[in-house]
């Protein structure tokens, strides 16, 4: 499963891409923390990943226009991490096996 949410507070216009648009990086983290447990509960998902590692530089016109101007990465185009997003991703990922056990016991 591949997914992402774009943050309005990234400074990018977020015109391209089909991902959800939320207000803040904290909201992107909340999206991750609410979306992934459903994947674990479904018992049919074999894995997931956040669509992009790094946002594209919006001034680099050689990039695909469908990815050029949106906050899809977990780091910005200057390689600065979106800390709140990463911290909350880690929290959920650290509990993944406990969550699987919880859902399997239902």
Give the residue numbers spanning the domain of 21: 2-104
**pTM reported for the whole predicted model:** 0.90
Q: Tens of pLDDT along 21-32?
A: 999 999 999 999
Q: Does position 98 have pLDDT exceeding 90, yes or no?
A: yes
Q: What is the mean pLDDT of residues 7-16?
A: 94
Distances 30 to 11, 57, 68, 85 between C-alpha atoms, Å: 19, 25, 24, 8
Q: Tens of pLDDT along 32-85?
A: 999 999 999 998 999 999 999 999 998 999 988 887 899 999 999 999 999 999
Domains of the chain: total: 1
What integer pLDDT is reported at residue 64 of this predicted model?
84
């Amino acid at each position: 499963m591949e997914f992402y949410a774009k943050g309005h507070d990234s400074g990018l216009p977020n015109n391209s891409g089909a991902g959800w648009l939320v207000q803040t990086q904290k909201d992107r983290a909340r999206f991750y923390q609410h979306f992934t447990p459903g994947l674990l509960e479904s018992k049919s998902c074999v894995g997931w990943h956040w669509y992009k590692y790094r946002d594209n530089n919006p001034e680099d016109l050689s990039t695909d226009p469908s990815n050029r101007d949106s906050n899809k990465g977990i780091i910005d185009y200057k390689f600065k991490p979106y800390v709140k997003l990463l911290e909350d991703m880690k929290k959920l990922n650290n509990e993944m096996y406990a969550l699987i056990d919880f859902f399997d016991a239902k």
